[in-house]
A and B are shown apart, each in its own frame.
Chain A
């Protein structure tokens, strides 16, 4: 008979708490870097020449079709050997997740840029804004407002993906669960707690992000 004993979990709760904070931080950082990658890729696909468009499309198509865990191992074990020893496990993970999210965000931003109504960029041109300023004052601000819901969803997904960092011993929430489990064998209690923590966090995040959307997202 399995007797529930929650004490070991609560005794080690700080491990889980720090794990969740680390997970949020990793997700946020990867989202930020992924946005930079995604924006550049989207620009390349919308405004670039044929070769660069093909190159970027190859990147996004390839990365989106391979497992994130594979990318993590590739970066951590593969690049590590090539001499990139500057990357410890945390930064390897951030790089891997950024590259992965960048491929998804490239499509998000590309669709966003294309759905800025043509009339608005024309209005910008008509008052004499240079292409750079049209981009700065019209296209980009509107693109961000249009893609805000997608960015929110992506952030929540990335937060769940941070659980894979446990595979290379990054001390986020899932790794914390593994550690407590190894030490105390309170499997059900640990994983139930961790599952609930993820659920609550995702729920709270979704709520906060919806508030943000209400303020800024484009309502057509």
Chain B
């Protein structure tokens, strides 16, 4: 059994690097997009706010798989020459942005109204209020749900296998079918996913500790 593992290790590694790469990319894109999206949900003029709201609620109201298929098969059908990986990653990024937008909105909303009032009363402008009072406090509140979203995105990257992108799950499927050892290889894949996500969660907890002020 050990030699089976060793013989296929390079394939597992290749899939794993695609998974890690795609996840990192999507988490970064989603976080950036979500930051702007959250701000839009909170402070943009009404039309844009409504648009964002519809966007977030729609994305969160449909299964991710449907979103991936729509983008992956739909964009080329419309004539856009987009590679499979980019299409799938785009779908995941759209998904991530919607979730992070909601995380940002929730974190800022959870700050008591009194903080904004106190900041206004000492004469801070809107931008300065956000920068010095609201966002520092929102940051620590946003980290746990952000970490959850990041973990969800890593797990979501496994759906890339369903559009034939050679990620960890796809590679595992192939190896398991070829070697007739599904339990072994799915088990290994599970451990790998677990390690990535568990480390992410721990990292998130550490970062949160650094940024939390006791009030």
Contacts and interface: CB of A to CB of B under 8 A. Distances in A.
A216 interface: no
Contacts of A203: 61
A139 interface: no
Interface string A170-184: 000010011001000
A198 B62 contact: yes
Q: Which size class do B's interface residues fall under? A: 35 or more
Contacts of B64: 160, 163
A162 B78 CA distance: 28
A161 B156 CA distance: 11
Contact of A163 (B66, B151, B157, B190): B66
B73 A65 contact: no
Nearest to B148: A64
A165 B79 CA distance: 30
Contacts of B158: 67, 69-70
Contact of B186 (A77, A167, A174, A177): A77
B48 to A, nearest CB: 21
Interface stretch (B31-39, B115-123, B192-200): B192-200
Given A178-B69, A188-B77, A70 B186 contact: yes
A192 B78 CA distance: 14
A160 B79 CA distance: 29
B136 interface: no
B186 A187 contact: no
A15 interface: no
A62 interface: yes
B180 A167 contact: no
Given A70-B190, A74-B190, A166 B58 contact: no
Contacts of B183: 74, 78, 81-82
Interface in B135-193: 151, 155-159, 161-162, 169, 172-173, 176-177, 180, 182-183, 186-187, 189-190, 193
Contacts of B169: 67, 69-70, 73
A199 B67 CA distance: 12
A68 interface: yes
A68 B155 contact: yes
A195 B62 contact: yes
B42 interface: no
B70 interface: yes
B183 to A, nearest CB: 5
Given A66-B197, A191-B73, A198-B62, 18 more contacts: A62-B194, A65-B198, A66-B193, A70-B189, A70-B190, A74-B182, A77-B176, A77-B182, A78-B176, A78-B182, A78-B186, A81-B183, A82-B183, A160-B64, A174-B66, A188-B70, A188-B77, A198-B61
